[in-house]
Structure 1
Amino acid sequence: MRNWPLSELSVTTPRLQLRHPSLDDVDELADRAAEGIHDPGYMPFLFPWSDTTPEERARSVVQYQFRAWGSFSVDSWTIELAVVHEGRIVGVQSINAKNFPVTREVETGSWVAQRFHGQGIGTEMRRAVLHLAFAGLGAHYAVTTAFEDNHASLGVTKKLGYKEDGIALHARGDKPVVVRRFRMAREDWTESPGFAIHNLDRCLPLFGLSS
């Protein structure tokens, strides 16, 4: 799309491509969500969007993507990158920020369709979005959160070297649960070999940045 530079943005790794989704990609993402993301009875997300029927999960993915596109601004933005493994979309890696030119802080989140769990995809896609944040956008900090019983997400976070950044209480259904927050400073980030960012320069003004 000539008038939407983000449509050409992507990050590649030894195994994955993370790309701004096309309309066909959005459809495939919706299919992955409909197939299932986590075990029934467990909710890894602060907003329980996945606790519904497969059809509703699929529609919510489509609607969320369109909201992210439509609300993008220098002051507040979210990018939901489709994660492609062996030619198939397997999940989403998001990155968002508020007042980024001032704060230089981003937050990340993700999901991977359940049938692709346990293959190291979550770790590699997080490395990829950190590469985009630090090497591409010049972020100073990256933060992430997870419930204290979300062992998969916590495992990725610890593996990549984040530091503890406090806790909060969240109502998950009718029970309180601890949310753990983590922070990585640019000086603590280690660049991974074989990671590359594509077509970022034309996107930089959308973030309030110059090339």
Structure 2
Amino acid sequence: MTSLAEIWPPFGLTLTTPRLTIRPVFDEDIPSAVAAARSGIHEPGKSPFSMPWAELPDDELAPNMAQWYWRCRANFTPDSWTLLLAVWHHEEFLGVQDIGAKNFATLKTVGTGSWLKRSAQGQGFGKEMRAAVVSYAFDYLGAEVAESDAAVWNRKSLGVSASLGYELNGIFRDGWGDTVQEVQRVRLTPTTFKRPDWTLKVQGHEAFYSYLGSEQLPAGD
């Protein structure tokens, strides 16, 4: 029988760190993702997201999350893609780490975003999962830049960025829901990256890289 990874190669990608298994969100993972989000991600009224999706009522949150996962798959092309990765610690769903790019073949730049349920915060998981995806981007995809951003008050996110070697890259004003936020951009390169003291394990890279339309694999694989 044909596997899901053969039908859609991104499904075959798995990144493994000392504590985490990071792989695409499957349909059967959506209930776990919804439960994690419903358990709480941030303080009420203090959304770290440009779209305050985590504050939706329960009856709206679940379909909104499912539609987002499906939309990212449906809109995935080599020129514009976002890969949503479920973050697992043993059998526990902790959150989602995303990585994406536009015109990657030319720009060699990726962007990242993430969320963790509150019970998993403060344990270094955020740094570990971000280190995993930027390691993969630099060493396997051949990225030259990794970018992210966070509200200027979001010390936790910006602290993770600083600990990995991201450099400040300007502030801009943006509309987040019905508020205006000052947002800090950050930028990382292979030279400034403060690499973790562990080696990332990768499965399913060749098929995923080929699906992105690349002809040659970087030296990392």
- Which residue does 1:32 correspond to in 2? 36
Counterpart of 2:181 in structure 1: which amino acid? V
Q: CA deviation at 1:49?
A: 1.5
- Which residue does 1:205 correspond to in 2? 210
Q: Alpha-carbon deviations, 1:146-203, whole Å to 9, x = none?
A: 0001111011011111011111012345543210000011222244323111111011
Contact 2:14–2:21 (Cα < 8 Å) also in 1? yes
Count residues in correspondence: 211
Counterpart of 1:183 in structure 2: which amino acid? R
Distance 1:174 1:63 in 2: 22
- Which residue does 1:43 correspond to in 2? 47
Contact 2:147–2:188 (Cα < 8 Å) also in 1? yes
**Paired residue secondary structure (2:22):** strand
Corresponding residue to 1:118 among 93, 115, 122: 122
- Which residue does 2:97 correspond to in 1? 93
Corresponding residue to 2:139 among 135, 140, 146: 135
Cα distance change, pair 9–34 in 1 and its aligned pair in 2 (3 A): same
Distance 1:93 1:158 in 2: 18
Q: CA deviation at 1:132?
A: 1.3
Counterpart of 1:134 in structure 2: which amino acid? F
Unaligned runs of 5+ in 1: none
Aligned pairs (5 A) from 1:1-211 = 1=4, 2-172=6-176, 175-192=179-196, 193-210=198-215, 211=217
Cα distance change, pair 175–63 in 1 and its aligned pair in 2 (3 A): closer
Q: CA deviation at 1:76?
A: 0.3
- TM-score, normalised with respect to structure 1: 0.95
Counterpart of 2:170 in structure 1: which amino acid? G
Counterpart of 1:99 in structure 2: which amino acid? N
Contact 1:18–1:83 (Cα < 8 Å) also in 2? yes
Cα distance change, pair 13–3 in 1 and its aligned pair in 2 (3 A): same
C-alpha RMSD over aligned residues: 1.4
**Paired residue secondary structure (1:119):** coil
**Paired residue secondary structure (2:191):** helix
Unaligned runs of 5+ in 2: none
Distance 2:159 2:200 in 1: 21
- TM-score, normalised with respect to structure 2: 0.91
Contact 1:18–1:125 (Cα < 8 Å) also in 2? yes
* Bigger Cα displacement from structure 2, 11-20 vs 164-173: 164-173
